[in-house]
Structure 1
Amino acid sequence: MGKLICRSCNKEYSLNDVIWRCKCGGLLDIEFESTFPIEEIKKRPPTLWRYREAIPIDNDRNIISFNEGFTPLIPLDFDHKKVLIKLDYLFPSGSFKDRGATVLVSKIKELGINKVVEDSSGNAGSAIACYCAKAGIKCDVFVPDYNPSGKIMQIEALGAKLHRIPGTRDDTALAALKAAESDYYASHYWNPLFFHGTKTFAFEVTEQLGWKVPDSIILPVGSGSLLLGVFIGFNELLKAGIIDRIPKLVGIQAENCAPLAKAFNENLNKVPIIDKKETIALGISINKPVRGEQILDAVRRSEGGFITVSEIEIIGSLKWILQRGFYIEPTSAATVAGINKYLEGSTPDEVIVSTFTGHGLKEAGKIIKILE
């Protein structure tokens, strides 16, 4: 059924071991043989669980789901160039993080765990709280005390115990790691099970394109939970012989917090320490991504790259996209700004896919202030 492998020491664990980090302290990956019975998949309900043979859960009775996934993939005109946008802000908790949460919480139930901890700038905490509520699993969520009130209210309303941590986003992560010494860490960047939910983005896009692969995928990147999942997903499709290549992965970062872009552009193997500034794209405001080297490797192996966008560009893009009926949060508007920059050097026949990752209702107060 697969196994956990440490990226540092190569130690192996069973997928049924209650562990989220190697005993050496290293990050864990999952080695899993995915299959894609296309004719059977076509007959199944339009949810991400239609790819059942590619999701590492042993027994169907443990699946915690709201029939999520298979979000619309629609064309959007960017100055006469069509880009296909995956509407992942339409998930039950309002963000793409539900992809990871449904798989991670299903495995948590399967392992018999009754309490978890998570840290988040908002969306991951909301997603884990949402699925833990359905599963009847206790959940403690650590958030920076400067978080948008909409996201905090959502986490509390779903029954999670909220811990507001003063200081930086790093301080919040450290507080969660301390709590994870005694409780299971349902992390969206430490725990590799999360990526085996977000990888379904790649499966859905491929199926929605007639089991063909796009040329480029443009994604917002903070901790990298979506980009890494997408890279895993396309590699599994490649290994299964469904596709013949990996699309170019392009990461979008805010200029005020762009450690991965800096590392990539300076051809560094390590993510450098940066002087982080505030950005309205809170969801990608991560100055020390735990899986930074892994993200850089994925982008390089896909022959992709990084684009940075300014606060002025994010605000302008938010106003532009709102006028087209898409009520998305500022982090998603950073993606819009990145798409516009990418298109300046794209080819006329290039098939480009991107996504809107978070709903505007989560940051309604901030959006109102931006529009004033």
Structure 2
Amino acid sequence: MTHVKHLRCVLCKTTYPANKPVFECSCGGPLDVIYDYEEIKSFVNTPDFKRQEVTHWKYWPFFPVEHLDKKISMGEGGTALLRSTQFKNTYFKIEGMNPTGSFKDRGSTIELTKARKFKAKEVVCASTGNMGASIAAYAARAGIRCTAFIPTFAPKQKVAQIKAVGTKVIPVRGTYELAVRKTLELRERKGVYLTGDYAYRGEGQKSVAFEIIDQLDWNVPDNIVVPVGNATLLSATFKAVSELKKVGLIDELPHIVGVQSSGCAPLYKAWKSAAFKKYQGTQDIIKTIKKPKTIASAIACGHPVDGVKALNYLKQFGELTTVTDREILSARKELGIEGIYVEPSGAVSLAGMKKLKLRGTTVCVLSGHGLKVLL
């Protein structure tokens, strides 16, 4: 079963068939997965669907996967949604409970399922740590070789995690964007399968928002707050809630907030720019941050791969904000008081919530476990 119609470029709207591995449009634009929502409705608008246990694969009708019995899974998803003991009407989505310790596993299960379907012998990725650890683990599970280009600023704990499952790690002296270029060069030379923040990863990350609303008994929170690096989780959250509304599972949309570190905030700056007021979604208006400077290394992405997708949604609803390293560390300590241990990037959402003084029921997505980065 799959309800995918095709892939479509976010910029020029060119379409591509879904039965072949395509990673970006010929114009350089990112691709989006387009579904037949009328077909999806028949699967999810039933009492049985809502009664199912909350797991990542409960939302299979919203994923680009044909055969559930051929999925590459490590038990991802179904993470806890905890009510805060300090902040009124606030919940925390604990993504560090995923198999490799971050939300990235939700995307990796889809990407490696697709990689095996397309008979990939080797996958390659660029990562500041979490995605590399996740792809490495799922590639090992799938029996597929993996190479990871990792900037030298990546935390050593994450590099060790990547190496532990047999992935070849190639250090990159420079930015995350340079690491991405290295993956593209390797694909050009060897024809390896690209993994990372491409169309299929975002489809898997939608389940964070699906689960949040499901765990709230299908009551839509006023706000969902997510950290932003490559903006894949942000754009996936926008898409997820939009899809739930399209198929009639919810009647209203939450306010979605993306939070970047003030030391690496290219998406926020584009959103606040004069160019965004005239933005039509046909070009990339994001200016690269060449030297990110933040304690939140997991979101130190100087040019968000999914930034254009996120900006398209931001024209409709939601907002962005930034937080300082001091605000991030303060939020991390407050989470510790509640017994929750996160890496700095995992505390970004709470820091953003506090800065904006959000009202109403708010869910902060805590993206990664504290053992990922030892300060």
TM-score of the superposition, structure 2-length normalised? Answer: 0.90
Q: Is 1:13 matched with 2:23?
A: no
For 1:120-169, what per-residue CA distance to the aligned partner results, in whole angstroms no more than 9, with x for missing partners? 10111111111111111111111101211100000010111111111222
**Residue 251 of structure 2 corresponds to which residue in structure 1?**
244
Judged with a 3 Å threshold, the aligned counterparts in structure 2 of structure 1 residues 273 and 164 are, in CA distance, closer, same or farther, namely closer
Q: How does 1:1-372 map to 2 (within 5 A)?
A: 1-2=3-4, 3-33=6-36, 34-35=40-41, 36-78=44-86, 80-181=87-188, 182-187=191-196, 189=197, 191-269=198-276, 270-274=285-289, 276-302=291-317, 304-343=318-357, 346-347=358-359, 350-364=360-374, 367=375
Judged with a 3 Å threshold, the aligned counterparts in structure 2 of structure 1 residues 62 and 23 are, in CA distance, closer, same or farther, namely farther
Query: Equivalents in 2 of 1:267, 1:104: separation in Å?
Result: 36
Deviates more, 1:144-153 or 1:332-341: 332-341
| TM-fit CA distance, 1:267 | 4.3
- Checking the alignment, whether the CA contact within 8 Å between 1:202 and 1:230 is kept in structure 2 is yes
| TM-fit CA distance, 1:37 | 4.1
Letter in 2 for 1:105: L
Deviates more, 1:208-217 or 1:40-49: 40-49
Letter in 2 for 1:287: G
**Residue 370 of structure 1 corresponds to which residue in structure 2?**
none
Query: Equivalents in 1 of 2:177, 2:123: separation in Å?
Result: 19
Query: Equivalents in 1 of 2:271, 2:118: separation in Å?
Result: 38
Query: Equivalents in 2 of 1:44, 1:301: separation in Å?
Result: 32
Name structure 2 gaps, 5 residues minimum: 277-284
Query: Equivalents in 2 of 1:98, 1:274: separation in Å?
Result: 27
For 1:316-361, what per-residue CA distance to the aligned partner results, in whole angstroms no more than 9, with x for missing partners? 2222322331111011122221121122xx33xx111111110111
- Checking the alignment, whether the CA contact within 8 Å between 2:92 and 2:363 is kept in structure 1 is yes
For 1:31-81, what per-residue CA distance to the aligned partner results, in whole angstroms no more than 9, with x for missing partners? 013342442324544321011222111112320112221211111144x52
**What percent of counterpart residues are identical?**
35
| TM-fit CA distance, 1:305 | 1.3
- Checking the alignment, whether the CA contact within 8 Å between 2:55 and 2:211 is kept in structure 1 is no
**Aligned-partner SS, 1:180:** helix
TM-score of the superposition, structure 1-length normalised? Answer: 0.91
Letter in 2 for 1:272: K
Judged with a 3 Å threshold, the aligned counterparts in structure 2 of structure 1 residues 183 and 201 are, in CA distance, closer, same or farther, namely same
- Checking the alignment, whether the CA contact within 8 Å between 2:292 and 2:302 is kept in structure 1 is no
Query: Equivalents in 1 of 2:131, 2:89: separation in Å?
Result: 30
